[in-house]
């Protein structure tokens, strides 16, 4: 095997490792942008959540994210919201765009 071929393979391997690392960093950035259920109090005061008057704890137990058409279940204590681009919401949270689930 020539040294040029070895160098080409090495370059390819390093480029592949770099691409995987960049993908992982992008995933971390996306997670940081959408937040987690541990961040709900902090996130409520930011961006779209603020515009939608997002509240981590709904004042009306009959009108919560869990009963909203935009809610997507995750774990027992944390799901996501379609309107918030998949951002974390608690089943017991709410915002002004609440819309009752059909059925
Ligand atoms: S749109 Fe629905 S699921 Fe999303 S934050 Fe508002 S009440 Fe919760």
Pick the residue with more confidence: 21 or 98?
A: 98
40: phi then psi, degrees, rounded to nearest 5 = -55, -40
pLDDT of residue 19: 45
Which sequence spans correspond to the domains of the chain?
Answer: 1-34, 35-103
62: phi then psi, degrees, rounded to nearest 5 = -90, 0
Q: Which letter, b or e, does each residue of 43-81 get, where b requires 16 or more Cβ atoms within 10 Å of its Cβ? A: bbeeeebeebebbbebeeeeebbbbbebbeeeeeebbbb
**Cβ of 65 less than 6 Å from ligand 1:** yes
pLDDT, tens digit (0-9, with 9 covering 90-100), for 13-45: 444 444 444 444 444 444 445 679 999 999 999
**Cβ of 37 less than 6 Å from ligand 1:** no
Q: Return mean pLDDT, the chain.
A: 80
**Cβ of 70 less than 6 Å from ligand 1:** yes
**Distance from the CA of 83 to the center of ligand 1, in angstroms?**
7
Domain at 35-103: CATH code: 4.10.490.10
**Distance from the CA of 50 to the center of ligand 1, in angstroms?**
12
């Amino acid at each position: 095997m020539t040294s040029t071929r070895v160098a080409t393979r090495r370059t390819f391997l390093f480029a592949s490792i770099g691409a995987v690392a960049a993908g992982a960093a992008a995933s971390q950035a996306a997670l940081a942008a959408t937040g987690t259920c541990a961040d709900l109090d902090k996130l409520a005061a930011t961006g779209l959540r603020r515009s939608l008057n997002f509240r981590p704890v709904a004042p009306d137990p009959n009108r919560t994210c869990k009963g909203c058409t935009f809610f997507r279940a995750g774990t027992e204590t944390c799901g996501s919201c379609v309107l918030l681009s998949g951002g974390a919401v608690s089943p017991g949270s709410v915002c002004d765009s609440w819309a009752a689930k059909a059925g």
